[in-house]
């Protein structure tokens, strides 16, 4: 049983650089989510896709963040001009309905 996978697992980047993360959801799940989690907090919603359509984007998400899900399969999350405040665990999740299953996460460190 293949779960949600994410790549890379860790990313260290310098402030101002662009980064891109990939997520491969569970194959039969049509819903895909991106969340962000910082130390001591619960995951915070970033954006949601149903198939290839991006249906919701958090108001907290700045214009530096963009996500895609071409052909309703894998998804990418790009952060442009990274800032130190972007340092966090970026979690991808997929769902067939409401039960949501998380991938292992990508830990981003911006120096």
Partner 1 sequence: QKEVEQNSGPLSVPEGAIASLNCTYSDRGSQSFFWYRQYSGKSPELIMSIYSNGDKEDGRFTAQLNKASQYVSLLIRDSQPSDSATYLCAVFDTGGGNKLTFGTGTQLKVEL
Q: Where is 12: in which H helix or E strand?
A: strand 10-13
Q: Does 103 bind partner 1 (CB under 8 A)?
A: yes
Angle value at C-alpha 66, between 62 and 72, nearest 5 degrees: 145
Residues numbered 6-45 forming contacts with partner 1, rule: CB under 8 A: 31, 33, 40-45
Secondary structure of residue 91 in the 3-state scheme: strand
Residues numbered 72-101 forming contacts with partner 1, rule: CB under 8 A: 89, 91, 98-101
**CB nearer to partner 1: pick between 40 and 70:** 40
Give CA–CA dist 44/73, Å, rounded.
23
Least distance to partner 1, CB of residue 35, Å: 8
**CB nearer to partner 1: pick between 74 and 102:** 102
């Amino acid at each position: 049983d293949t779960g949600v996978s994410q790549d890379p697992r860790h990313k260290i980047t310098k402030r101002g650089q662009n980064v891109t993360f990939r997520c491969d959801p569970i194959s039969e799940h049509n819903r895909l989510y991106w969340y962000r989690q910082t130390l001591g907090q619960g995951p915070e919603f970033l954006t949601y896709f149903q198939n290839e359509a991006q249906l919701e984007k958090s108001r907290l998400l700045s214009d530096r963040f963009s996500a895609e899900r071409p052909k309703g399969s894998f998804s990418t999350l790009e952060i442009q001009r990274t800032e130190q405040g972007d340092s966090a665990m970026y979690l991808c999740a997929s769902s067939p309905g409401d039960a949501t299953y998380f991938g292992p996460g990508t830990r981003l460190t911006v120096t």
